[in-house]
Amino acid sequence: MQKPEHRPERMYYSIGEVARMFKVNTSLIRFWEKEFDIIQPYRNKKGNRYFTPKDVDNFHLIYNLVKERGYTLQGAREKLRDNPQDVQRDFEIVKSLDKIRDFLLDLKKELKQDKP
């Protein structure tokens, strides 16, 4: 499974932008918003959702638990409710390991290209 693209550098993201980051449908973003109370988007007068970088980080946590680690929605909700610090710490470790893996894969690719 391809990992989500994560760029929390803006103040707000539309639901479409968040869906593209995670390569999922906007309906899944709306569903997760209803299922997980840690997602609190800003809504304008028209009712459009705008997600903060913190919301995007929370979506990343949910994505990691549900899509990558195989938790059920109920299991992910309980995990986030009971051990939010542990989930955050584990997720940060996974992100660090992913960066190291990507670096090593890039290095391997470069070394193969340098061979005569």
| Inter-CA distances, 29 with 24, 56, 85, 97, Å | 8, 10, 23, 26
Q: Provide the angle, in degrees to the nearest 10, between the axes of the packed helices 73-82 and 53-63.
A: 120
pLDDT at residue number 5: 57
Confidence of residue 71 (pLDDT cuts 50, 70, 90): very high
For 21-41, the pLDDT digits (tens) are 999 999 999 999 999 989 999
Looking at domain 13-114, its CATH architecture is Orthogonal Bundle (1.10)
Spatial separation of the C-alpha atoms in residues 17 and 31, rounded to whole Å:
16
Cβ atoms of 26 and 16 closer than 8 Å? yes
Where are the chain's structural domains? Answer: 13-114
